[in-house]
Structures are given as structure tokens and as C-alpha cells.
A and B are shown apart, each in its own frame.
Chain A
């Protein structure tokens, strides 16, 4: 894989995401749908960013491009020092395994695996010993406060607990970037608040870079920076706190 020089901001913080004139188009019924148009955005390492906007504004598509699970139609996209447009399918998969953790709105845990096994799953792609694997899984489960449920299957957990396991699965590989697509979208108010506190703590204590998609303004208050999209275009980019 070819590594590019990531830019550095005036405070010496390395940029983790750099996109220039980023475009994403789909062809549907012979018609081109422009999901993202000329997105120019730079996110710093250690930031907690919320991508906001109404349904269909392109925020999940942008998150998917950051995660390397979708490819841009045009433009430049560097994530964690890697030009994602230049990677093959296999290289992209390998890059995802090491650089990105992804939290889904609907958790997407493997139903026939326990919480422990779900968290352990991505580590099988890493060349580490069984003992190291065990240590990392235990640490991840501990850090999301679900260690006592490690032997439970997803069907035996509440929505909030499932999302905690999903977050543990996302951070167990110690990725540079944690992406979350509406992480509280399927949870009640109390569970949602608990998950946001967890993400805030991970950001605060570990310096974890987090990019989160949400359309809920109260959820977005946990972020340092709000990026608003509308009809595929970046319409507002504000820093709400340091």
C-alpha cells in the first residue's frame, strides 16, 4: 500500500481525513444521482466530529467513503495517511481491518456468537497470539462496561448492551478512526445517553478520533465539531468546543 504525506495543522496535529472535491454519484434507471458534490473537508486526529443533516443529505455515504466501504466517483480522499482511491479491493479490506472501527445503527452483531466472540472476531485478521487476543478482548469489554456479559448471545442483551458490544468490537483493533452511523438511532433516551457518554469517554480518555453520523441535535452536543450536509453538499462546518 502506498502511504501519502498527511497534512499537519498549525498546532502540529496530524490530519486524519483529508478530502478535496469529493464526489459520489449513483446511476439509477439510467439517471445519475449526485449523492455528494464537491466535498472539501479536513478532520484532525483526536477530533470528535458529528456529521449532521436531513435524511438523504449524503452523511452516511460520506461516512462509508471515510470507512473505505464505498468508493468515491471523483476527488481526493486520504484517511489515516492512505489514499483510499488508489487501493485495490483486497488492500482496502486490509486497511479497514487495521485503521477503522465501525459502529452501526442496528449493531449488526453475529447472532450465533457470544459478546466475547463478536469482539474477538476482527482480531482473527491480526497476527497476534491467543493470549494477546484474550487480553485485548477483555480490555475492550471492560472499557465499554459489558465485561460481565461476555458469555451472552446478542439475543440475551438489551439494545444498549448490544451497542456497547458493537463499540467494543470497533475499538478492539485499536483503530485510528472510529466511525459511528447513528449509534443511538435504535435506542431509547436513557440507553442513547449512556452510549454517548461512553463515546465521549473513549474520546476523552483515549484520544480516539470519532466521526459520528446523527440527525439528533442533542446527541451532537457531545461532538467538538459539527459538519452539516444538505442535498449532498457541505453547508456548514462549525467548531462547538475545543
Chain B
């Protein structure tokens, strides 16, 4: 690396960019996977208006709440009014979720401090906002903010592992309905968040809810929350899948870059290899030197790329939001580690053939080169 600093720096930069791309894309893939893959203990259902795919068009009577609550297997029902600042897929969408204050306070008592929760309950225009949203918009308790025509007071920050909660602003249902009245949607909610008692009953409860309103003026489609997110994020999933192919292509580029660098390096050092052999260095020593050089290129380049990806994702704090559904993109040390490990593995792989060539080189031929 000290021998040809410019070439080494260019190779390191190439490896770093490729690993950066891979890690960033894989972070997005991981976020989508986390938000859309059903887990064994999942109990959350989303009741949406049948054949509607956007919070602006999904309108359900709030009166469904009682009927859903009576269906066997349902643990709780929360009517939710969603207002978004942008209905399309975007990285900075504010999702307002109008919820009944007392019910929400009961089910989310541990999610916010007692002081923040009390502040939120006592003030009609207040919002509890998710950690991701607060960081993205640099909001703190006591601030006011406006989005989607809704002006709200920040009562506090809500902590939650659920991606949907992290990018949302929870406001009083009546307040949000009032704010949205211009569209004639007062008394109407976007969806119902339903919790079932037993994860094994998810499908049965969903079917019962949809059958209950099948003949009603507002028929429903009920899905597991992860399935609901997956449906809303279909386009994003396709895009992330394509981006993942690009990420893999970037890793192939790492292999090609390092292989090219090592081959060039070996060609210019055939005499030096012969000198080392003359001094008594054996094939295994020379092969090890070549592999160490490849490892250094892949390791350092990979470390730079993975670190940069981690830092960018951590600082950006973005969330992919589409149709009111949010997928938070969070930095992952595991993915950074995997990125570095793959870069090292590919680099060592790229160095194997040059290492064998170096080990088998005859001394006299090396001096003649």
C-alpha cells in the first residue's frame, strides 16, 4: 500500500463505496423485512376499508369500534384517524394518528413519561411523537409543529419498538377529526388497530371482522399489521429488491477491484518476490504476504464504507412512508459487521490466485521478468 499510494487509495475508495452501497441497501432491506415479516407472537390486526389503499380514501364509521370489540378473541380496539403530509412514498412524511385519549393512555402507559402522558391528556391539541419523527424534525416537548394542515403542540416523545409508532404523531381522535372536517370526515376513522388475545386466532378474528361488515355500507379488509405494511409497501419492496441486486453487484466490484489491484501489484513485484525467495522465503510465506495485502485492502476499505454507511443512516434518521405506513431505517452494527466481513472474504478470495502464482514463481524467471 505504501509502494503505490495513489493506486492503493483508489482501490480503497472503490471498496469503501461498494461496501457503503451494500450496507445502506441492506439496512433498507432489513428495515422492510423487519416491518413486513410476520412474527410468531404477532397479535396486531389492522382493519381497513375494503379496496382502499390510501388513508385519504379509507373511511370507516367510528361506530364499528363497539361491534369489533364484541367479536370473540378481540382484546382491544383502537379507532385511528390518519392524516399524512404526503400520500406517496417519501422519506419525510408525518403521519398523524388520532386515537381515543384514555384508551391510548391505558395501553401505552409505559411508552411515555407520566409527565408527558399527563400533559398530552390534558391538552386537546397536543401530540405524542415518535422518537424517529422527533429526531428527523428536531422536535422536543413544548414545541409546536404543523404538517398536513394540522397544527399541534408537542407534549412529549413516545418510545416504542414498533416502526409505525416511531414515525407517527399521536393526537386526540376528536381533535384530528375536527381538523379533518373540511373534507367531511368527522366521526369517521381511517382504520381500527385491533389486538387479539391469542396469536393463533389472528386469521379467525380477521375473518370474523370482515364477515361482520361484509354486507355493511363500509365493508372491511382485515390483515395482520405486518401484512398491512407489506401491502402498502409493495412498491418499496420491489425497489429495495432491485437495490439489493445493485448491492450484490457492488460486492462483485469489490472482488474485481481487489483482484485487479493485487494482480497489478504482483506483476510489478516479480523481481522482489524472487529476491525474497533468494533470502529463503518459501511459497507459503509469499502467499501469506499476498493474502495479507488483499485482506488489508478489503478490510480497510470495507471498514471505511461500513462506518460511513452506519454514520449516514444514523444521522439521516429517515423513514420510508407510503400510504400512511412508516418503515423506519435504523443503523445496524450487525449489517456493518457483515459488510466488512464480506469485503474481507471477497478480497482474500480475490487474492488466492495471485498468491498461488507468487508461491509457485521460480526465482530465475522472476529475475528475468
Contact = CB atoms under 8 A, between A and B. Distances in A.
A125 B3 CA distance: 23
Contacts of A70: 363-364
A112 B275 CA distance: 14
Nearest to A64: B364
A96 B280 CA distance: 5
Contact of B279 (A89, A95, A97, A111): A97
Contact of A69 (B3, B278, B282): B278
B280 A97 contact: yes
Interface string B203-231: 00000000000000000000000000000
A216 to B, nearest CB: 21
B2 A112 contact: yes
B283 A89 contact: yes
Interface stretch (A2-10, A102-110, A184-192, A196-204): A102-110
Residues of A contacting B: mostly: helix
Interface string A83-115: 000000110011111100010100010111000
B272 interface: yes
A96 to B, nearest CB: 4
A49 interface: no
Contacts of A94: 280, 282
Interface residues of B, number: 17
B282 A110 contact: no
A95 B3 CA distance: 30
A157 interface: no
A93 B277 contact: yes
Given A69-B363, A70-B364, A112-B3, A125 B281 contact: yes
A69 B277 contact: yes
B280 A93 contact: yes
Residues of B contacting A: mostly: helix
B271 interface: yes
Interface in A49-106: 64, 67, 69-70, 89-90, 93-98, 102, 104
A121 interface: yes
Given A69-B277, A93-B277, A108 B271 contact: yes
B272 A110 contact: yes
B282 A93 contact: yes
A122 interface: yes
Nearest to A125: B280
B278 to A, nearest CB: 5
Contacts of A64: 363-364
A89 B3 CA distance: 29
B360 to A, nearest CB: 9
Interface string B1-42: 011000000000000000000000000000000000000000
A154 to B, nearest CB: 12
A196 B271 CA distance: 25
A25 to B, nearest CB: 13
Contact of A122 (B280, B282, B363): B280
B281 A104 contact: no
A127 to B, nearest CB: 13
B3 to A, nearest CB: 5
28 contacts: A64-B364, A69-B274, A69-B277, A69-B278, A69-B364, A89-B282, A90-B282, A93-B277, A93-B280, A93-B283, A94-B280, A95-B280, A96-B277, A96-B278, A97-B279, A97-B280, A97-B281, A98-B280, A102-B278, A108-B272, A108-B275, A110-B272, A111-B3, A112-B3, A121-B279, A122-B280, A125-B279, A125-B285
Q: When A and B form their complex, which 8 residue pairs have the shortest distance between CB atoms, in order from nearest?
A: A97-B280, A69-B363, A93-B282, A122-B279, A108-B275, A96-B280, A112-B2, A125-B280
Interface of B: 2-3, 271-272, 274-283, 285, 363-364
Interface of A: 64, 67, 69-70, 89-90, 93-98, 102, 104, 108, 110-112, 121-122, 125, 169
Given A69-B278, A125-B279, 14 more contacts: A69-B274, A89-B282, A93-B283, A94-B280, A94-B282, A96-B277, A97-B280, A102-B278, A108-B272, A108-B275, A111-B3, A121-B276, A122-B279, A122-B280
